[in-house]
Amino acid sequence: MTDSPYKNLADHAPFDASPVLPTMLGGDKVIQFRCHKGVGCWNACCSNIDITLTPYDIIRLKNRLNLSSGDFLKAYTVPYEMDQDGTPGVKFRPVDGGTACRFMTPEGCAVYEDRPTACRYYPVALLSLRNQDESTDRTSYALVQERHCLGHQEPRSLSIDAYRQEQGVDVYDEKGRGWRQLVLKKKSAGPAIGKPPAVSNQLFFMASYDVDRFRAFVSSDSFNKTYDVPLEVMATLLADDEALMEFGYNFLKHALFGERFLEEREGAYEARMARLKSRAEAIRAEYEANRERLEDEKYAEPGRPGDLGCGTKDCG
């Protein structure tokens, strides 16, 4: 066994059971690590997964599997909430009744060339930080030191930057930068007052993860009646997943934070207000038409004041 400067560090971590060493590291930090098929823990990390996917991860995987984004999301992911405002995230869905990755094989990863960002980074963790008064995020790294991972004892030293390049993660980071900034911006804005409208989280989900549905949205009549997207830009968006993904990042900033990105067509605002007004009027008219029945139903709910059917035999 090789002497490693990191050997047993997990034993001395200042908080119990956390495999992440709490030191923030720069890209020039030299680590000792190598993962290869001959290592005694081969596949241990892929047997118990908790992997969050980025928009670019999903594009790479769904194209590799020749699936639509909707079919990929349904078959291979589970949704979760990233924060208290319910910002939607997606994680890999493990095998039925187990914890292993669906792409794990005895030979290793079945989608190796298109494996997600988190798999590429391991055992390094990316820390993107941003203070409320800062306009850009700061990047640093941490080392994840899990007992089962014997790669830390392999005799190879390299900097985190060199490791990221070897794993192709620098490309993934570049493609995911806009989305990470968006997520950080949402988090650094603090919790929303009241619950954010469900529609903004649905928009976030579609533009971030369901690129094929987002394409249908962007090419719809109502979108194009509202926004003035030059024809050549629209042609690129319809043909190119990655261009559409980048457009989605900017569209979300426009829609969620009012950062102007798209020109609205002349009269689009007035048309939208008119549509909202006529929808509100239709709802009011429907209520008025059914007022009597709705009032009756309201007071007929069990347990409410005015409910005669109180459920006890003695109430008269």
Compute the half-sphere exposure of residue 138: CA atoms within 13 Å on the CB side of its CA: 10
Q: Site residues for ligand SF4, window 84-103 (CB under 6 A)?
A: 101, 103
CB atoms within 10 A of CB 25: 18
By CB under 6 A, residue 151 contacts ligand SF4: yes
Question: What residues pair up with 243 in beta bridges, in sequence order?
Answer: none
By CB under 6 A, residue 169 contacts ligand SF4: no
Characterize 195-216 residue by residue with b for buried, 16 or more Cβ atoms within 10 angstroms of its Cβ, and e for exposed. Answer: ebeeebbebbbbbbbbbbbbbe
Query: 13 or 111, CB closer to ligand SF4?
Result: 111
Give the range of 145-153, 168-176, 200-208, 268-276 binding ligand SF4 by CB under 6 A: 145-153
Asked if omega into 123 is within 30° of 0 (cis), the reply is: yes
Q: Which residues contact 167 (CB under 8 A, 6 or more apart)?
A: 120, 121
DSSP track, 242-283: HHHHHHHHHHHHHHHH----SPBPTTHHHHHHHHHHHHHHHH
By CB under 6 A, residue 44 contacts ligand SF4: yes
Among 20, 39, 125, 184, binds ligand SF4 (CB under 6 A): 39
By CB under 6 A, residue 45 contacts ligand SF4: yes
Query: 147 or 279, CB closer to ligand SF4?
Result: 147
3-state secondary structure of 148: coil
> Quick one: tokens of 128?
């993107």
Q: How far apart are CA 217 and CA 215, in angstroms?
A: 5
By CB under 6 A, residue 49 contacts ligand SF4: yes
Q: How far is the CB of 229 from ligand SF4 (least distance, A)?
A: 35
Q: Site residues for ligand SF4, window 104-123 (CB under 6 A)?
A: 104, 109, 111, 115, 119, 122
Q: How far is the CB of 49 from ligand SF4 (least distance, A)?
A: 5
By CB under 6 A, residue 149 contacts ligand SF4: yes
Q: How far is the CB of 36 from ligand SF4 (least distance, A)?
A: 7
Q: How far is the CB of 106 from ligand SF4 (least distance, A)?
A: 11
Contacting residues toward ligand SF4, per CB under 6 A: 35, 39, 41-46, 49, 51, 101, 103-104, 109, 111, 115, 119, 122, 148-151
